[in-house]
């Protein structure tokens, strides 16, 4: 188990984006948090320091918490490949997917508990009675009982789920029930994600949020977008002036590196091509293969200058997702089987993970360059990859599943596909945006406003303060 160091960031930065009423409400809750958390540590425990939405949100929320004078800290679990195969299986089960087809029996439970017992021993040397511990997702749930026995207030925070239960989701929840039921409180992104046996009186609904000042979301001038994508070897943009610099989480400045191998299938995107983009983990539930198939089999419905970019992380850099390499290679094989005309308009990109800030900067540039951003998930916990392009005023086409339904108001701040398997309908929605500049502008403008109103960090932080005030009444 290792600690991720996060430098404090003043909440004044965020408050400048808010109206007076919202800023005042945030300041009042900061004062309350300082009182009730004085002398306590708020610990967060998850499976990885990079490569997913949970890690990105923790980076932001802890920075603001520490800037507000709260002692918030972040620990990352130690695990072995077998442990992460089991927890990935749990992840898939809770989404209603069989994943690798394996079971969740006594052998898996023994391995899960053995790995977490070692992590618990490490935590007990750090956590004091009265501290708050937020255990994130299935990977960390098994430590709830031991931490409560040590006098900590334990909250289990689940970022995943499915609206309608199945036999698989029931099996996943049956595995987790002995651990989750020991938490003092639970937090879900949507009401529907909680299992049927959950004590709703001890459960809270807190959707994720976006940090507009993070490397992934900060404003980029068009010339910097062009320079970044050209130098990284992703898009053949004009060789005009533009900066390759980007801000890092620690306040220092990084510079985009020249990469010769980020496009793993297809060529560099031509400079005049319009881009349909999906940025996701290489996860079957994100259905990158379905996006590729929909695009390639319906080329005649799309303008001839349209190109598809599927961008995901370098699979060697995401330690808690053993499925990633399989999904990437499956997509590469699908690309190889396409006719030449389709191969020329489909591009698979593997973004570096050895520098997470550069990775975030590349995603930012790709999303700002895209004409349309899509997210054709089969199921989705929330989907920050929807929130991010919405903040950048991009028109988004996504499936009406999970937390995406909470972000997009259909036909107002984006377009939603009711049936994830409807590849023709998905393509028609994309074509409708590409063929109508006014529609694209209207959807993008409304998307940015919706994120500002609903999904910035002040709301997220206030909801946590409200939860903590119930656990620790003054």
- Where do the CATH 3.40.50.2000 domains begin and end in the chain? 2-209+456-471, 222-454
Q: What is the pLDDT of residue 320?
A: 62
What pLDDT digit, counting tens, does each position of 215-244 carry? 999 999 999 999 999 999 999 988 778 999
Q: Which two tokens stand for residue 355?
A: 């520098």
**pLDDT value, residue 52:** 79
Tell me what pLDDT residue 322 has: 76
Which architecture characterizes domain 222-454 according to CATH?
3-Layer(aba) Sandwich (3.40)
pLDDT at 377: 97
What pLDDT score was predicted for residue 315? 87
Q: What is the pLDDT of residue 196?
A: 93
Dihedral-angle region of residue 62 (phi above 0 means left; psi in -120 to 50 means alpha; beta otherwise):
alpha
What is the model's pLDDT at position 241? 86
How is domain 2-209+456-471 classified at the CATH fold level? Answer: Rossmann fold (3.40.50)
Q: Write out residues in the chain with pLDDT < 50, as ranges.
A: none
- 272: which 2 tokens? 């005049």
151-199 pLDDT, tens digit per residue, is: 999 999 999 999 999 999 999 999 999 999 999 999 999 999 999 999 9
Rounded to two decimals, the pTM is: 0.93
């Amino acid at each position: 188990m290792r600690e991720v160091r996060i430098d404090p960031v003043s909440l004044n930065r965020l408050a400048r984006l808010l109206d007076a009423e919202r800023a005042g409400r945030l300041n009042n809750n900061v004062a309350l948090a300082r009182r009730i958390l004085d002398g306590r540590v708020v610990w967060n425990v998850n499976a990885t320091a990079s490569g997913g939405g949970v890690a990105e949100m923790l980076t932001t929320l802890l920075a603001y918490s520490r800037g507000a004078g709260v002692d918030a800290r972040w620990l990352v679990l130690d695990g072995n490949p077998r442990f992460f195969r089991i927890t990935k299986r749990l992840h898939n089960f809770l989404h209603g997917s069989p994943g690798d087809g394996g079971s969740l029996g006594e052998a898996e439970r023994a391995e899960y508990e053995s790995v977490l017992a070692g992590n618990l021993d490490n935590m007990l040397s750090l956590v004091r009675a009265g501290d708050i511990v937020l255990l994130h997702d299935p990977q960390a749930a098994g430590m709830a009982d031991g931490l409560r026995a040590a006098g900590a207030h334990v909250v289990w925070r689940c970022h995943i789920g499915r609206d309608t239960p199945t036999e698989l989701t029931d099996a996943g929840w049956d595995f987790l029930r002995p651990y989750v039921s020991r938490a003092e409180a639970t937090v879900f992104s949507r009401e529907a994600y909680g299992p049927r046996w959950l004590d709703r009186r001890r459960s809270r609904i807190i959707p994720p949020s976006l940090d507009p000042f993070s490397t992934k979301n900060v404003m980029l001038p068009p010339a910097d977008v062009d320079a970044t994508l050209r130098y990284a070897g992703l898009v053949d943009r004009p060789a005009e002036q533009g900066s390759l610099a980007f801000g890092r989480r620690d306040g220092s400045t990084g510079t985009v590196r020249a990469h010769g191998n980020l496009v793993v299938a297809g060529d560099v995107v031509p400079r005049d091509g319009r881009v349909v983009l999906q940025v996701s983990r290489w996860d079957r539930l994100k259905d990158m293969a379905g996006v590729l198939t929909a695009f390639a089999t319906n080329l005649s419905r799309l303008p001839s200058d349209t190109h598809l970019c599927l961008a995901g992380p370098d699979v060697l850099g995401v330690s808690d997702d053993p499925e990633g390499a399989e999904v990437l290679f499956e997509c590469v094989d699908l690309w190889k089987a396409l006719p030449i005309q389709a191969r020329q308009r489909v591009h698979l990109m593997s973004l570096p993970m050895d520098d997470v800030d550069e990775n975030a900067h590349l995603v930012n540039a790709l999303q700002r360059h895209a004409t349309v951003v899509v997210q054709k998930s089969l199921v989705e916990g929330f989907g920050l990859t929807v929130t991010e392009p919405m903040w950048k005023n991009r028109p988004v086409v996504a499936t009406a599943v999970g937390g995406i339904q909470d972000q997009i108001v259909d036909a107002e701040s984006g377009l939603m596909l009711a049936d994830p398997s409807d590849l023709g309908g998905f393509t028609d929605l994309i074509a409708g945006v590409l063929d109508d500049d006014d529609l694209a502008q209207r959807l993008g403008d409304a998307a940015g406003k919706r994120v500002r109103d609903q999904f910035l960090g002040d709301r997220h932080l206030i909801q946590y303060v409200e939860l903590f005030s119930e656990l620790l009444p003054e």
